[in-house]
Structure 1
């Protein structure tokens, strides 16, 4: 089992999470490595918890199926639960937001492409279409009309850990 963690400074917002519903699935984008031969796939790959792909030999289905070009082995990954929201914390601490059951592969890097959501801490204002790819590390700024203050997500760090 692997988990994707996030650490971020949330200012005026809470419950940061990807937009990930059946109607609007989030595609989690990773660099993947074969655990047999240690080959890293040259391209970024995407995985959605709502897609199922057939495994060869009719062994079932998985969210992600990959055959390593180097050793020719087939590997799979499944997202085991919906993403957890990241709450406002002081100081910011890593939180597992997504867990994977990986067979024969490891995710080694994450790219946060896609839309994220959050709510105003005091106002409950809904913020959508948050882009965490800007800046290094990721950052996002907006204004909460109800609260009358700037809100932000800064210092975003991603990590993939053993669950």
Structure 2
């Protein structure tokens, strides 16, 4: 099992999470490494928790099925549950966002592409289409009358 964790400085917002519903699939973007030959795929790969792929030689399915170009072994990953919203904390704390069951491979790096959501702490304002690719985000909460931000993002992939 692997866990994607996040540590971030949230000001004025909480419940940071990917916009990930059956109607609006979020594609989690990772670097992948073969568990057998340790070769790292040169490109990022995308994984959706709503996509099911057949595994060859098996009746099973996984969200992500990958065949290593070097050693030709097939491996897979399945997202175990919906993403867990990141709660605002002071000081910022490392929190679990997503958990994977990886077989024969592991994710080594995460890229926060796609749209994210957050909620105003005081106002309950809904912030949508948040872009975290630059490593920070700033906006203004009209209801609360103050600036809100997400910065100092630190993503980690940890073994359970």
Taking structure 2 as the reference length, what is the TM-score of the superposition? 0.99
Pairwise mapping of residues 35-114 of structure 1 onto structure 2 (< 5 A)?
35-114=35-114
Deviations 1:134-163 (A, max 9, x none): 1xxx10000000000000001011000012
Pairwise mapping of residues 16-35 of structure 1 onto structure 2 (< 5 A)?
16-35=16-35
State the Cα distance separating 1:58 from its structure 2 match. 3.5
- Distance in 2 between the 1:25 and 1:18 partners? 9
State the Cα distance separating 1:130 from its structure 2 match. 0.4
Deviations 1:80-106 (A, max 9, x none): 000000011011011110000000001
Gaps of 5+ in 1: none
Deviations 1:2-52 (A, max 9, x none): 000010000000000000000001000000000100000111000000000
Paired position in structure 2 for 1:155: 152
- Distance in 1 between the 2:155 and 2:81 partners? 18
State the Cα distance separating 1:59 from its structure 2 match. 3.0
1:119 equivalent to 2:119? Answer yes
Partner of 2:136, secondary structure, is strand
Partner of 2:57, secondary structure, is helix
Deviations 1:56-113 (A, max 9, x none): 1243110000011111110000000000000110110111100000000010000000
Pairwise mapping of residues 2-13 of structure 1 onto structure 2 (< 5 A)?
2-13=2-13
After TM superposition, the runs of 4+ consecutive aligned structure 1 residues lying more than 3 A away are none
Gaps of 5+ in 2: none
- Give the number of equivalent residue pairs: 160
Aligned-pair Cα RMSD in Å: 0.6
- Distance in 2 between the 1:59 and 1:39 partners? 27
Taking structure 1 as the reference length, what is the TM-score of the superposition? 0.97
Partner of 1:118, secondary structure, is strand
